[in-house]
Amino acid sequence: MSRPLVLLLGDQLSHEMSSLRDLPDNAVIALCEVTAEGTYVPHHPQKIALIFSAMRHFAGELRDRGYHVHYSALDDPDNTQALISEAERLAAVHGCDEIHVARPGEWRLWEAMRERHDTPVSWCLSEDDRFFTTPDDFAAWSKGRKAPRMEHFYRLMRKRTGLLMEDDQPAGGQWNFDHDNREPLSTEAHPPASPRHDHDDTTRTVLALVEEHFAEHFGNLEPFHWPVTRRQALGDLRHFLEHRLPDFGRFQDAISDADPFLFHSRLSAALNIGLLLPREVCEAVEREYLEGRAPLNSVEGFIRQVLGWREYVRGLYWTRMPDYKHRNALGASRGLPTAFWSGDTDMRCLKRAIEMTRDNAYAHHIQRLMVTGNFALLCDVAPEALCDWYLAVYVDACEWVELPNTLGMVLHADGGLMGSKPYCASGKYINRMSDHCRHCRFDPKQVTGPDACPFNSLYWAFLERHADTLSGNPRMALIYGSLRRMKEEKRAAMREQADAFLATLETAPAYGLGEHRAGYHATRETTS
């Protein structure tokens, strides 16, 4: 009789996983901590601790439910330290003839597993149906569309799921309440403290293990307050519904010099690793609107992120890989600024986004898009260099969601699949949406001169440099009109200012990850 080994990955920690359905009594479930997954990019220590602690807790839950579980701990002497070899070793140890696994979250693993089809033990891949859609669904929807747009996909998803629908019409008569969701932080806004979780023995052991093995990675391991069990994640969801959701919408785009989380949910990591399911989260958020506890602009804004953007990026990823990863529509080739690892810059907004990332393995969407992302876009940072960084430093990072956001939304390197125009902006935007500029040595109103905000000249120089590719875009017509109306003298001064800035910008070689390490070693020395 055949005996399956079910390989459960570190981001598949849900009892609802397709790979756990209809298991025969003799099945063995394997969870494997391996060095290769912790180091293929230098993941933030909090992210590694989250995954290991959540894996250990989930293994315990499976055992309590009577399953036969094999847990390979990182420091087990016979651990082969890579997922595929470890699963094959365990299959041999337990006499299993098949390895079952649900679609992983990254192409590199999916491809490697598919290549193992004619080995003595056969690999059987199933669909991961925790999402609202499958890659096949998305392929069917996008087939024949020259310019697929998230907004069209999202409306279809609303109709299909019935979320925020009144008969066949959108609740409140509109699909999108974005125009209500652009307020900077005001004095009347009081973001609540984030939930904290006590560390049990399992988490304490994992924190010590991560400190021992991954101490040289960029980022502070503690304080560590990410939820590591479903119970804790449900607690964080309740906290969000009660204390943050009502103001989530209006302050969705605001940035604060002091508070990294504001009214954001902090639920992305729990969603991505399986502690929460997107459907239950969207339904809980919709209930807050239906029962009168949260306004529609907040509820719709949140549901659009999860039902719209999250599903859309996953669809793009699986239907466009592996070519997607090599797209570089703007021909960007600069290495990653070393300040991304050290935080060593006078640009206050950039410094704070990097420091918050170092301290919490988190920065909210607008910081990722309009501060670090915008800066990298304006400096022509190479997609691979920037994508490696985003994949490494955020607690929620997994390639299916990170890559389209970074390569597509931030760098416009996919030629417009993620957004019809680049999200480039000058210091004026950051000044409007944040209080950073008040603490900055630069002046957001000046474009040239020693005190001018670097974003300003970089912005105009970027537009000039990429005019051939971007000026024909109807959504850029206004801004290119302004550029054309400027006197050549002014344009030359801005160009010079930007060139001088870029000439002294310290960067790591575009594709040499090893070179970045000097930067984050330095960070740890100065912060510990």
Rg of the chain over Cα atoms, rounded to whole angstroms, equals 23
Q: Does 430 bind ligand SF4 (CB under 6 A)?
A: yes
Phi first, then psi, for residue 170 (nearest 5°) are -70, 140
The Cα 135–Cα 337 span in angstroms is: 35
By CB under 6 A, name the one of 390, 429, 442, 459 that touches ligand FAD.
Answer: 390
What DSSP element (H or E) covers 299?
helix 296-303
Q: Does 463 bind ligand SF4 (CB under 6 A)?
A: no
Q: Does 105 bind ligand SF4 (CB under 6 A)?
A: no
Q: Does 412 bind ligand FAD (CB under 6 A)?
A: no
* CB of 137 or CB of 435, closer to ligand SF4: 435
Q: Does 38 bind ligand DLZ (CB under 6 A)?
A: yes
What DSSP element (H or E) covers 241?
helix 230-243
Only one of the segments 122-130, 132-140, 302-310, 487-495 lies at the binding site for ligand FAD (rule: CB under 6 A); that segment is: 302-310
Q: Does 347 bind ligand SF4 (CB under 6 A)?
A: yes
Only one of the segments 103-111, 316-324, 326-334, 425-433 lies at the binding site for ligand SF4 (rule: CB under 6 A); that segment is: 425-433
Q: Does 455 bind ligand SF4 (CB under 6 A)?
A: yes
Going by the DSSP 8-state scheme, the letter that residue 337 receives in this structure is B
By CB under 6 A, name the one of 309, 318, 442, 462 that touches ligand FAD.
Answer: 309
* CB of 233 or CB of 508, closer to ligand FAD: 233
Only one of the segments 32-40, 399-407, 426-434, 452-460 lies at the binding site for ligand FAD (rule: CB under 6 A); that segment is: 399-407
Q: Does 272 bind ligand FAD (CB under 6 A)?
A: yes
Q: Which residues contact 258 (CB under 8 A, 6 or more apart)?
A: none
Length of the chain: 528
Q: Does 410 bind ligand FAD (CB under 6 A)?
A: yes
Q: Which of residues 78-97 bind ligand DLZ (CB under 6 A)?
A: 83
**Identity of the amino acid at 506:** E
Q: Does 10 bind ligand DLZ (CB under 6 A)?
A: yes
Only one of the segments 35-43, 164-172, 285-293, 354-362 lies at the binding site for ligand DLZ (rule: CB under 6 A); that segment is: 35-43
Q: Which residues contact 383 (CB under 8 A, 6 or more apart)?
A: 327, 328, 332, 406, 407, 411, 413
Residue with tokens 């907040």: 298
What tokens does 268 get? Answer: 């992305």
Q: Which does 48 bind (CB under 5 to 8 A by kind): ligand SF4, ligand DLZ, ligand FAD, none?
A: ligand DLZ
Q: Which of 296, 274, 275 is nearest to 285 (CA)?
A: 296
The Cα 51–Cα 397 span in angstroms is: 11
Tell me how far, at minimum, the Cβ of 310 lies from ligand DLZ, in Å.
15
By CB under 6 A, name the one of 250, 348, 358, 516 that touches ligand SF4.
Answer: 348
Q: Does 453 bind ligand SF4 (CB under 6 A)?
A: yes
* CB of 301 or CB of 427, closer to ligand FAD: 301
The Cα 402–Cα 379 span in angstroms is: 20
Residue 29: beta bridge partners? 6, 69
- Write each residue from 187 to 206 as x if it is in contact with ligand SF4 (CB under 6 A), else as -, in one continuous string: --------------------
Q: How many residues bind ligand DLZ (CB under 6 A)?
A: 17
Going by the DSSP 8-state scheme, the letter that residue 31 receives in this structure is E
What DSSP element (H or E) covers 517?
helix 513-527
Residue 434: beta bridge partners? 255
By CB under 6 A, name the one of 4, 29, 43, 304 that touches ligand DLZ.
Answer: 43
The Cα 7–Cα 19 span in angstroms is: 8
Q: Which of 193, 202, 203, 201 is nearest to 224 (CA)?
A: 203
What DSSP element (H or E) covers 355?
helix 348-360
By CB under 6 A, name the one of 6, 62, 84, 106 that touches ligand DLZ.
Answer: 106
Q: Does 396 bind ligand FAD (CB under 6 A)?
A: yes
Under 8 Å between Cβ of 400 and 317: yes
Only one of the segments 9-17, 226-234, 306-314, 494-502 lies at the binding site for ligand DLZ (rule: CB under 6 A); that segment is: 9-17
201-240 as b/e: b if 16+ CB within 10 A:
ebbeebbebbeebbeebbbbbeebbbbbbbebbbebbebb
| Conformational region of residue 383, where left means phi above 0, alpha means psi within -120 to 50, and beta covers everything else | alpha
* CB of 67 or CB of 175, closer to ligand FAD: 175
Q: Which of residues 489-508 bind ligand DLZ (CB under 6 A)?
A: none
Give SS3 for 136. Answer: helix
Tell me how far, at minimum, the Cβ of 16 lies from ligand FAD, in Å.
17
Tell me how far, at minimum, the Cβ of 368 lies from ligand SF4, in Å.
15
Look at strands 165-166 and 169-170 and give their pairing. antiparallel
By CB under 6 A, name the one of 264, 327, 348, 352 that touches ligand FAD.
Answer: 264
The Cα 48–Cα 55 span in angstroms is: 10
The Cα 99–Cα 226 span in angstroms is: 31
Q: Does 357 bind ligand FAD (CB under 6 A)?
A: no
Chain contacts with ligand DLZ (rule: CB under 6 A): 9-11, 32-34, 37-38, 43, 48, 51, 83, 104-106, 109, 398
Chain contacts with ligand FAD (rule: CB under 6 A): 264-268, 271-272, 302, 305-306, 309-310, 313, 364-365, 368-369, 373, 390, 394, 396-398, 401-402, 405-406, 409-410
Chain contacts with ligand SF4 (rule: CB under 6 A): 347-349, 427, 430-431, 436-437, 440, 442, 444, 453-455
